[in-house]
Structure 1
Amino acid sequence: MTPSHPLRILFLSTHNAARSIMAEYLLRRLGHGRFETCSAGLEPRGQVHPMTLKVLSERYRIEPNDARSKSWEELQGEHFDLIITLRDKDREAFPRSRWEPIAAHWNQPDPADFEGDEKQQELRFIQTGRELSMRLDLLCALPMEKLGHLPHPGEQASAPM
Structure 2
Amino acid sequence: MNPCRVLFICTGNSARSILSEATLNHLGKGRFEAYSAGSKPTGQVNPYALEELATAGIPIDGLSSKSWDRFVGEDAPPLDIVITVCDSAANEPCPVLFGDFVRTHWGLPDPAAVKGSPVVINKAFRKAHTLITYRLMELLKLPVETMSQEELKRALDGIGALSDEDNNGDGA
What is the CA distance between 1:65 and its match in structure 2? 1.4
- State whether residues 18 and 111 of structure 1, in contact with CA within 8 Å, keep that contact through their aligned partners in structure 2: yes
**Moved >4 Å (runs of 4+):** none
Structure 1 residues not aligned, in runs of 5+: 151-159
Rg (Cα) greater in structure? 1
One-letter code aligned to 1:68? S
Larger relative contact order (Cα-Cα within 8 Å, sequence gap ≥ 6): 1
Residue equivalent to 1:86: 85
Confirm or deny: 8 A CA contact 2:45 2:63 kept in the other structure: yes
In 2, the alpha carbon distance for the partners of 1:139 and 1:116 equals 33
Residue among 30, 46, 51 paired with 1:49: 46
Deviations 1:14-66 (A, max 9, x none): 100000000001011111211111000011000000000001001x1112111
Pairs aligned (count):
144
Matched, 1:116 2:116: yes
Conserved 8 A contact 1:42-1:90: no
TM-score, normalised by the number of residues in structure 1: 0.82
Corresponding residue of 2:65: 69
Aligned amino acid, residue 81 of structure 1: D
2:132 partner SS: helix
1:112-158 Cα deviation digits (max 9, x unpaired): 001111110000000010000000000000113444x45xxxxxxxx
Displacement after TM superposition at 1:75 (Å) = 1.9
- For 1:41, give the aligned amino acid: G
Give ranges in structure 2 of 5+ residues lacking alignment: 152-172
Query: 1:146, 1:123 → 2: CA distance?
Result: 38
Name the % identity: 35
